[in-house]
A and B are shown apart, each in its own frame.
Chain A
Amino acid sequence: MLAQNAYCAYIYSYRGEVEYKKASSQEWKRLEGAAGQQLAGGDEVRTKRASTVEIALDTGSRIRLAPVSAFRLSGENHEQTSMQLHFGKFRAWVKKLTNKFEVKTPTAVCAVRGTEFSLEVDPQTSRTQVDLFRGTLAVKDNMGNELMLQEGRRLSVTPEGLGVPQQISKALENERQAGRETLTKEVGLAMSKEAVLGAAAEEIKLAEYQQGKSLIDVFGNRVQLEEYVMRPAADQFKLVVLDKRESRLDYFFYKGTFNTTLPTDLSLALRQMGGAPQSPSWYLTAYQTGRSNTIDSVEENATGGHPVDVNGNLDPSDDVASYFDSATDLYAPVAGSFYKTLFDYYSIQYNGTQTYAWAPNTPGVQSYLSSDITTTIFGGNANYNIEPSFPDGTFLHNRIRETYGTGDDFTQYDNYIIDDDGKPADISDFAGITSGPQYKESLLKWNFQQVITSSFFGGRKIDLVVEPKILIQSGLVQ
């Protein structure tokens, strides 16, 4: 029977949170102040996270308890020192004595003589790991099997019994290798997650490209494009085209007012917008267009719209031999009547300055002949000059320059037919045809760029790239 009450050890040093419990008490007390707390057989000590304690035994041996560990000093006398490690880890320096130094864990008993070793117990599995640095040590499992451990060896003992000893250095290398494998695996998982995030972002970006909201022009510059339709009123629609390139933002809108409530499917109404062989169910009564760089603007307003059989009016120049069928993107021939919308009133303004307008001589005009409308031009009708040209040879670059009054005031439209990369089309791309149905059909495969400069813009310009379909459909491109 070992002495339970006689002091046999003391706290040599500690750091962090260390608690002890006397054998006769149920209460754990935290070590405070200087070390030196004496321990007797039956006393227990435990450490919290990042805390250690060193205990000196009267026999001269010393143990150091690692963080998150708990042990019990069973007793010490001149014959035997014994203790119990419940869980955690301790390191021991045992003086070479004739007495027996014994440590018990849930799965093992170690008997040492003149040894430096460490002991670790897993609290969940009770697995005991013994590392022997110096001396000899006998390890026994719960079934009575015993093994003499060599210096520099590690031995694990589980509830199933003794393991196979291995060199500590090899065990450390195995641990490092296992650590490397864990690290490689976790790095791989982190990169996989990053790849998933990247793929999600890529998918979102891809959709923008597929919808044509983001383009790259021939110069390698970004073009951000948005087109949408609004319904300001039941009988109105408004198409907005927003174009952002480099540091400029330009927009175009077309707002149409119809004679009646528009259907949910706008295409039913709009396919007749450019005219139809029959009297249309839906026709524009007014429209408004706008082109702007958010500072300067060109606005058109037309009101008093009404359908007119242009093939039956007095103006032969507006006769229609074929019309654009938006359902097929092709031009269909016309024989007989063809109804287009004519507007009683029209005006165009540049930054609020009206440069051109007409009004009906009699409401309900049947043509745009001077007999039906009266035009008003900025600077006087007589001073108005319009000059179309193709300044770039065979490239499809059409320029229309209007001058007013003294000639100092002007507006100039540079219209380009460009491909998807922004390269201007050549006349040969249209087989030399620059007007008429064939031209317009071919035009659908290209893009329409319009650069508007004006003396009213203070040196700025409006630069728009749009698909031509709406322009053809609405009659804005003739």
Chain B
Amino acid sequence: MKKDYGDKKAIMAIMPFVLFAVQFALFATAASALDEKVRWTGEGKTDKASDSMNWLPGKAPGKNDYVVFGVRSSKDCSWDLDVKLYYLALTTNYKGNVRLQTSKLKVIRNVNIEGGMLDLQEGALNVGNRIYVGSGGTLELANGTLRVGPTGVLVDAGGTLLSTGRSKARITSVNRNKYYKFVVGRGNVNLSNSAGTEVEGSEGMTFYSRAEVGHADFVNVKRISPGESALKVFRVKGQELEPKGWTFDETVDKKTATQYARFEATETPDLDLKDSSAEDDASTLVSTVTQPVSVTEALASTLVSTVTQAASLTEAPAPALSTATAETVSPEETPFAGLTEYETAQAQAEFLPYLAVRFNGGQHFFQKEQGNLSGNLNVLASMVIKHEKLGPKWAIVPVISSQYQGTKQVTDLVGGGTLFQERMAHSLAVRSIYQLSPKWKLKPGLGYKWEFLKETRDESWGHGLFDYRCPSFSFEGEYAYRDPFSFTIGYDFYNIGFVNFSSLESIIKDSQGNSMARELAGRSVLDSSNHSLTFGGTLQGPWRSYAEGNLVTTLRLFPDQYVVTQTGDFINSTRNDISSQLSLAWRIPREISGNWKAVAGVRLAAGFNTSNQNSYDAQRFMYLKNYYDSTSIRAGVDLSLNKKRPAGQSGGNEERPLAISLSATLGRVEYSGRPAQDASGLYLSDKIYQNEAVLGFDVSYHIAPHFVWTSQFGYGRQTSNQNFEKLYKYNFSTTNYRIGFSYEY
């Protein structure tokens, strides 16, 4: 017969205990083996266990005795002995009742009830290991107390467990620090004690599908093992079990996710759970007594095989779901303290805000010249808005951004030679998210950006030559094939309008008021309409790395800029450019030590621009075909280090990470339509190229919740084969630093 202990983990947990117990019990078992089996004969004048005449070999059972109620007599027995037995067995041949009259009966090892009935009445029985009820045996808890060891209560193979008393019956653990099993296999159960059957200190009660449950009512489950359900029932379809009047103490409320879990039995396990019969046990022990050396081995092997069998039984059909995985609950938590919060969350409208403010100051250095100390400010505000009027699938995300930049960055490699620049940008974007399906999101959006530049001292805000406005529309589809990794495809349309820029040619008139412009000379020659297609995605890579890639192709149309010809005039065709940018990045996060985490990454970006526009150098009467064609490539590496300082070390209650990042980028841009020039401007045969190197070093530290101290240092260098620098600097180095704070909510 197989044994079922319901939980392999528990079996493996008790295995060392059992094996250890083997060693410990070496002398005990050897000694106990010397004691005789004491068999019930019922030949005494009374039915008391204390009547020595009722026993073979003529003495009442004593300490460490192996007591058997078997074939010799089925007379009822009133057990009135306060004694510690080794083993108690009611065999299949016994048909009588053993009624407990004491509260001090202890059995070191097992109690096997395979015939007759053991009635606890109002007594108490301590079982060091397991109580097994099988075959035709019955255990009646009545009004008594049963204390069991870790292997607990096992009812199987036709055994019957009753709790039909009128005052409370109890099953509890011998050792308060250990939980016991309570398993009913192919057995019968009738728990109908209206005063309650208390089951305390168990790993939950398990009724397998073959359990015949007449009643399972008024059970009071207490001090249950964490993570367990109070009652697990495996039922075959069609069987019903309606437990009534169960109660649970706070351990069940707080420490278990469920009180009651029912599973569909995928097959009905044949739980042959009983160990070897008492007779066999006896023969094993007897045989081992004569061979002391092998006792331990034999006993150990028996126990091991028992454990092994038990372990193998745990391979028996697992439940269809393991639902009863409990979560850890803080003891202070009340059942549902968050109702108000829930109500708020379910309100008609839901808002989730975001705010980031960054302020810093710094300086920009060009070659050996130094710019003034100036400040930079970034404010970014957004929120997710859900409203019932939008429906459950829509969310709106407005984004408002305002920036003031007083310090040039090294990446502002515009001509190099301008130290002075102030920039202000404001944008409003409204993105919406439509959850088309669990994996698909559609995101239409609108935006408007204003950018103001003060690049010269005579320019005022709003009158910068290169101020622009940019209305935009976007539509994106995102497929989250495996959250958080996704693919995206998008279309963007945006119009860049330089509101203060007009070509001089279009506005100037000679002193007689006549136009001096060429035919088809446009006015807003820098304004463009842009159509952009984007493909992107993120991927999980090996070694916990992740990669992202992006391809953007833009068709840029200049409706007011006509194409320049070889003679310097315009033709009736406007400029259009096609620009493509491919960027790839691969990042590997790693834990360096307990406190330090690092993310290393490499980047690669390639760009390509082709245009139908040409240029004409009027000073040198030089026609420059495909002036705007270019290719670029940039590669870089990044390393960021984050150190988490545990709460308390920094004096606060939150983690205060320190972040350091380094970056290096090399790049090259080649203009295939622009010949290089010498210092005087004479055109050469080579085409212009520019080499760029940019280094960055950032440090940030959380000085308070949401509040970060930041610092950035940058160095950039550009070299080129273009030596004509009267109008624009191609060879220079530049440095900047910025130190400040950011707040993010």
Interface residues, chain A, with chain B CB atoms under 8 Å away: 49-50, 66-68, 91, 118, 124-125, 131-134, 136, 138, 140, 143-153, 161-162, 164-169, 172, 175-176, 179-184, 186-187, 189-191, 193-194, 196-198, 200-202, 204-212, 214-216, 219-222, 224, 226-231, 239-242, 244, 246, 249, 251, 253, 264-267, 270, 290, 292, 294-297, 326, 328-329, 351, 420-421, 444-445, 447, 467, 469-470
Contacts and interface: CB of A to CB of B under 8 A. Distances in A.
Contacts of A134: 336
Contacts of A196: 492, 532, 552
A374 to B, nearest CB: 28
Given A180-B352, A180-B354, A216-B418, A145 B323 contact: yes
B438 interface: yes
Given A182-B433, A229-B568, 17 more contacts: A132-B336, A145-B263, A146-B260, A169-B341, A180-B354, A190-B397, A190-B447, A194-B447, A204-B526, A205-B414, A216-B418, A222-B458, A224-B504, A266-B568, A329-B681, A444-B680, A445-B679
Contact of A420 (B337, B459, B518, B727): B727
B591 interface: no
Contacts of A265: 566, 621, 623
Contacts of B616: 228-229
B456 interface: yes
Interface string B475-503: 01000000010000000101010100001
Interface secondary structure of A, over-half rule: mixed
Contact of B392 (A68, A204, A205): A68
Nearest to B427: A194
B470 interface: yes
Nearest to A48: B391
A179 B618 contact: no
B429 A227 contact: no
B238 to A, nearest CB: 9
Contacts of B458: 220-222, 246
Given A201-B470, A246-B458, A226 B465 contact: no
Contact of B556 (A180, A200, A211, A220): A200
Interface in B253-274: 253, 257-264
Contacts of A229: 567-568, 616, 618, 621
A14 B503 CA distance: 63
A190 B384 CA distance: 13
Contacts, number: 304
B321 A193 contact: no
Contacts of B420: 216, 220
Interface string B511-546: 100001010000000101010100000000000000
Contact of A148 (B258, B431, B532, B727): B258
B568 A207 contact: no
A216 B454 CA distance: 12
B389 A147 contact: no
Cβ-closest 4 pairs across A and B:
A212-B727, A152-B336, A169-B338, A229-B568
Contacts of A132: 336
Given A164-B325, A227-B618, A146 B261 contact: yes
A329 B437 CA distance: 69
A68 B354 contact: no
13 contacts: A165-B258, A186-B433, A190-B397, A190-B429, A193-B474, A198-B425, A208-B466, A219-B457, A240-B516, A249-B504, A292-B511, A294-B510, A420-B726
A180 to B, nearest CB: 7
Nearest to A164: B325
A224 B505 CA distance: 11
Contacts of B518: 228, 230
A333 B429 CA distance: 67
Of B414, B530, B679, most buried by chain A (CB within 10 Å of CB) is B414
B533 to A, nearest CB: 12
B640 interface: no
Given A193-B474, A292-B510, A420 B725 contact: yes
B336 A165 contact: no
A196 B470 CA distance: 12
Contact of B258 (A133, A150, A240, A420): A150
B252 to A, nearest CB: 9
Interface in B710-728: 725-728
Contacts of B377: none
B327 interface: yes
A226 B504 contact: yes
Contacts of A224: 465, 504
Given A152-B336, A161-B320, A201 B451 contact: yes
Contacts of A447: 726
Interface in B646-704: 679-682
A172 B342 contact: yes
Contacts of B530: 200
A267 B321 contact: no
Contacts of A292: 510-511
Given A164-B257, A183-B384, A253-B516, A67 B392 contact: yes
Contacts of B325: 164
A332 to B, nearest CB: 14
Contacts of B261: 146-148
A167 B257 CA distance: 9
A220 B511 contact: no
B368 interface: no
Contacts of B384: 179, 182-183, 186
Interface string B552-582: 1010100000000011110000000000000
A189 B258 contact: no
A446 B552 CA distance: 42
B465 A222 contact: yes
Contacts of A140: 262
A445 to B, nearest CB: 6
A278 to B, nearest CB: 20
Contacts of B459: 222
B336 A242 contact: no
Interface string B347-376: 010001010000000000000000000000
Contact of A200 (B335, B395, B496, B727): B496
Given A186-B399, A187-B382, A222-B458, A212 B568 contact: no
A162 B321 contact: yes
Contacts of B395: 182
Interface string B380-415: 101110011111100101010100000000000011
B727 A211 contact: yes
B414 A209 contact: yes
Contacts of A267: 620-622
Contacts of A165: 257-258, 323, 327
A389 B268 CA distance: 118
Task: Specify which of B263, B438, B508, B623 lies most central, judged by the most chain A CB atoms within 10 Å of its CB.
Answer: B508
B638 interface: no
A228 B618 CA distance: 5
B431 A189 contact: yes
A235 to B, nearest CB: 13
Given A242-B505, A329-B682, A208 B526 contact: yes
A216 B327 contact: no
Contacts of A467: 619, 681, 726
Contacts of A208: 466, 526
A205 B339 contact: no
B9 to A, nearest CB: 18
